[in-house]
Chain A
């Protein structure tokens, strides 16, 4: 019964979220374009699937993942678990190794399940014409989130400036942009924006807040934020990096085969 109310509430919330989008789409469809889209009934069934799917997804997350994930983030940052006195004024960052391991694994895991990323990856695979697989892109992005969230968790522990880290990340992205293939750049930038939505944000927010409460001298209001920003910058770096490395290997292989061909020719 409780599950049923939760389902209805979530369904209602999802439909309300969609209302502004639906209003914009309908308004322009009727007021400006003045034509019916092809396969209208199929599209409508598809949209119903999207809404129903999101509702099931959110209710399931609320039941299965979020309580456990949030409780876990709190327990792992608990002074008792870390093994220090609750009133300690300084805690070595090495006391937080399990937190970093958790940040790494949960960052990867939630990104692989992120529906927005699945959507962008499917579209990219569809138009890339075999040069890129959806799964490969998702792995590269998930690895980026792992790295980003782990560094972000370290930053909360060390108390360094958030701006400094993010700016350093941007500097790396800017340098990489000059070396990466033209076709991957827009997709890499986009993958930074899509990593952080339905699944990732609630768990990361809980982790950031838990850490900021646990580390002496950190304010949850000031230091609890920022993990999401890390999770948006680092995937760009890994996707661009993946492209640069694979292009380099491809070129080397090509160069090698040209050399052996010359030898054979002689």
Chain B
């Protein structure tokens, strides 16, 4: 009990250290540069306590819950030995976690607004909603595909940089053809798809697979799923922009 408490306190101290740069930055600009008092200082302080406690609980939960879960599922799939089931799981995980991602919903609504103002689609509510919905489905499909391909790559032991470099070259090749309005959104879409719960789970899954399958190295083969999941949305969104 005492050692558990000591562990928790150590994590708490770690979280405070993680937040120190933000506190210093905000305080410096508020006091030295903008020379303004803090509005609602008491609320800010309570908020900071919440952030520290939240980060500590999250990290504790990672080690207890998300990491072992991803790892166990990787082992179970490897033991079962069904390629189809594993690939289906990878696709569903990518699609399922992305389609409801709030950051993505916000970005696609923004994109629909831009598209209608640029005259690409009609200015009606329905046109915007259907544009935003298709965009969301496409990004989710692309993340599903990314995880499917990424898991297959781990099984085969192919180097990740083949995929990433060809992906980059594809992005470079498509960019000049995509409408200027969509390029910024497409580039940002890559960053918003990977949420705080998906990342640890997917990382544990990849590393777990690489650890279970003989001949795979967790460092060279286990990582890379997140990179693929942030690359494919850019390509898919730009192609979507060209076609619509």
Contacts and interface: CB of A to CB of B under 8 A. Distances in A.
A164 B92 CA distance: 34
A151 interface: no
Interface in A136-179: 162-163, 166-167, 170, 173-174, 177
A217 interface: no
Given A68-B44, A127-B218, A201-B191, A17 B101 contact: yes
B197 to A, nearest CB: 6
A104 B30 CA distance: 16
B188 A229 contact: yes
Given A46-B66, A98-B33, A122-B62, A57 B172 contact: no
A55 to B, nearest CB: 7
A215 interface: no
Given A49-B60, A56-B57, A113-B18, A29 B73 contact: yes
B152 to A, nearest CB: 15
B196 A198 contact: yes
Contact of B50 (A28, A60, A81, A183): A60
A171 B22 CA distance: 32
How many interface residues does chain A have, given as a range?
Answer: 35 or more
Given A113-B22, A119-B203, A187 B43 contact: no
Among B89, B227, B230: residue with most chain A CB under 10 A:
B227
Interface in B154-201: 159-161, 164-165, 168, 171-172, 175-176, 180-181, 183-185, 187-188, 190-192, 194-201
Interface in A18-58: 18-21, 23-25, 27-29, 32-33, 35, 37-39, 42-58
A193 interface: yes
A181 to B, nearest CB: 9
Given A24-B92, A116-B200, A229 B187 contact: yes
Given A48-B61, A128-B219, A186-B219, A119 B200 contact: yes
Given A28-B92, A120-B226, A231-B191, A72 B30 contact: yes
B215 interface: no
A3 interface: yes
Contacts of A71: 39
A95 interface: no
B212 interface: no
B230 A33 contact: no
Given A109-B25, A112-B21, A163-B175, A57 B187 contact: no
Interface residues of B, number: 107
Nearest to A63: B47
A33 B45 CA distance: 46
B33 to A, nearest CB: 6
B214 interface: no
A56 B191 CA distance: 23
Given A186-B224, A192-B230, A17 B102 contact: yes
Contacts of A59: 47, 50, 54
Given A124-B223, A189-B223, A109 B22 contact: yes
Nearest to A182: B220
B192 A201 contact: yes
Contacts, number: 347
Interface in B190-238: 190-192, 194-201, 203-204, 207, 211, 217-227, 229-230
Contacts of A3: 46
Contact of B199 (A105, A106, A197): A197
A256 interface: no
A113 B14 CA distance: 10
Nearest to A58: B54
B47 to A, nearest CB: 3
Contacts of B49: 60
Nearest to A199: B22
Given A46-B65, A68-B30, A24 B89 contact: yes
Contacts of B161: 177, 185, 189
A225 to B, nearest CB: 3
For the complex of A and B, the 4 pairs showing the least CB-CB separation, nearest first, are A46-B65, A64-B47, A46-B64, A63-B47
12 contacts: A20-B100, A49-B64, A50-B58, A60-B50, A60-B54, A63-B47, A68-B38, A72-B34, A110-B22, A122-B63, A123-B207, A182-B220
Interface of B: 18-19, 21-22, 24-26, 28-30, 33-34, 36, 38-39, 43-69, 72-73, 76-77, 80, 82, 85, 89, 92-93, 96-97, 99-103, 113-114, 117, 159-161, 164-165, 168, 171-172, 175-176, 180-181, 183-185, 187-188, 190-192, 194-201, 203-204, 207, 211, 217-227, 229-230
